[in-house]
Structure 1
Amino acid sequence: MHPNFHFHWRDREELRAFVAAQPFGMIFMETADGPAVAHVPFVWLDDDRIGFHLSSSNKLASDIGSGRALIVVNGPHAYVSPDWYGLEDQVPTWNYVAVELKGEVSAIAPESLPTLIDMLSQENEKRLAPKAIWTRDKMTPGVFERMLGAIVGFEMHVTDWHGTRKLGQNKSVEARASVSVALSAAGEEATAAFMRETFL
């Protein structure tokens, strides 16, 4: 998390909603061979548990066992030119949004894996409306079950929540508005929109 308190983001419900809207991130764990990372889709199982899966051939899948891990979820980000503030003596920087979640990870029972995959697909299929939601009922009988053998399911019980919204909160409203307009013009609309919706 960014050390400047201006950028700290602590509202747990907002953090949870942000992660739900950005359901792909990186999970980091210490292993016998040193730090390791995997890029994973995930879904909230309840208020403080995240479910995810890894390929069974992923090195982290065999090393993860049970233990403490870190999930990082990145949101919009963009370079900010000093010229955009309308202020003297500024320096280049980077605006970004990110959430870090820490907690204990454990493998889920194999019989729970189909439910996890169903939850993942349903949450993401809903984003494609008005497209009809895909379900595994569309698959040839037996194929889904065979494919499950290639993955391992896990859950993390989140105990530490940390968020960073580095969007120029240490600048004046006028400077932030100027940066937001410049970002839009530069094609960085996602970061500009987050600035407008959050602080302008």
Structure 2
Amino acid sequence: MHPNSKFRLPGSDADQRAIMEALVQEIGFGMVFVQTPDGPRVAQTALFSTGDGAIQFHLANGNALTRHLHGSEALVVVNGPDAYVSPDWYEGENQVGTWNYISIELEGPVRKMDHDGLVALLDDLSAVNEARLAPKKPWTRDKMDAAYFDKLTTAITGFEMEVRAWRPTFKLSQNKSEAERLRVADQLEKLGKRALAHLMREWVA
């Protein structure tokens, strides 16, 4: 998390948490970090926000983290849009380059899910992501052989992390004047960084 308090979300704790949960669900992918007996390890995985303070994910059984996660304290990082900001886009001299970005850190204890929980997670992930492909008809596991699907699930393990700490960074040039921030947003728009440019214009008071 960036130490500058300007790079935080406005609003109440409840409002901020709702925004962060929505972003986790929208991005849907992140990194899970855990300290293991072999040293720190990280895994990349699809994420599902339950909406009630938990994050669910699954890993291959052969992943270096899988056997260490149950009962461990984990850190999940979800990154949003990001881009380099040139000093030339600011007013005046003695400016330096920087990076604008969105990132959320989530921390909490992890438990292993049972088989029914894993299957529910896979169904939830499919439903959320297939809906984004409309008007394509959503894929469901009904299109698979049930025995083959069950066989595949034996190669992965589902986990749920109770999120006890949320640490967001929304670094969108809030430390600059409004004119400078909007000018940077315009430059990023020209480079195709539309999502970040939009956030700089709309999310900063």
TM-score by length of 2: 0.94
**Is 1:187 equivalent to 2:183 in the alignment?**
no
Report the more deviating stretch, 186-195 or 59-68. 186-195
Query: How far apart, in 2, do the equivalents of 1:89 and 1:28 lie?
Result: 38
1:135 matched to which residue of 2? Answer: 140
- Contact 2:31–2:45 under 8 Å retained in 1: yes
Report the more deviating stretch, 61-70 or 30-39. 61-70
- Contact 1:27–1:71 under 8 Å retained in 2: yes
Q: 28, 34, 39: which one pairs with 1:29? A: 34
Q: Per-residue deviation at 1:32?
A: 0.5
1:8 matched to which residue of 2? Answer: 8
Q: Per-residue deviation at 1:119?
A: 0.7
Post-superposition Cα deviations, 1:176-195, rounded to whole Å, max 9, x if no partner, equal: 00000111112222221221
- Contact 1:87–1:175 under 8 Å retained in 2: no
Query: Which consecutive unaligned segments of at least 5 residues does structure 1 have?
Result: none
Q: 55, 59, 65: which one pairs with 2:64? A: 59
1:90 matched to which residue of 2? Answer: 95
Q: 146, 149, 152: which one pairs with 2:151? A: 146
2:162 matched to which residue of 1? Answer: 157
Q: Per-residue deviation at 1:140?
A: 2.0
Post-superposition Cα deviations, 1:143-187, rounded to whole Å, max 9, x if no partner, equal: 111110110000000000110011100111000000001111122
**Is 1:41 equivalent to 2:41 in the alignment?**
no
The 4+ residue runs of structure 1 with deviation greater than 6 A are none
The CA RMSD over aligned residues, in Å, is 1.2
Q: Per-residue deviation at 1:87?
A: 3.0
Aligned pairs, number: 200
Post-superposition Cα deviations, 1:43-77, rounded to whole Å, max 9, x if no partner, equal: 12241011100001111111212111000000000
1:74 matched to which residue of 2? Answer: 79
The SS at the match of 1:59 is coil
- Contact 2:24–2:47 under 8 Å retained in 1: no
Quick one: which amino acid aligns to residue 30 of structure 2?
A: G
Query: How far apart, in 2, do the equivalents of 1:198 and 1:169 lie?
Result: 10
Over the matched positions of the two proteins, sequence identity in percent amounts to 47
Post-superposition Cα deviations, 1:80-125, rounded to whole Å, max 9, x if no partner, equal: 0011122332110000000000011010112321111101111111
TM-score by length of 1: 0.96
Query: How far apart, in 2, do the equivalents of 1:171 and 1:33 lie?
Result: 43
Query: Which consecutive unaligned segments of at least 5 residues does structure 2 have?
Result: none
2:125 matched to which residue of 1? Answer: 120
Query: How far apart, in 2, do the equivalents of 1:46 and 1:179 lie?
Result: 34
- Contact 1:86–1:178 under 8 Å retained in 2: no
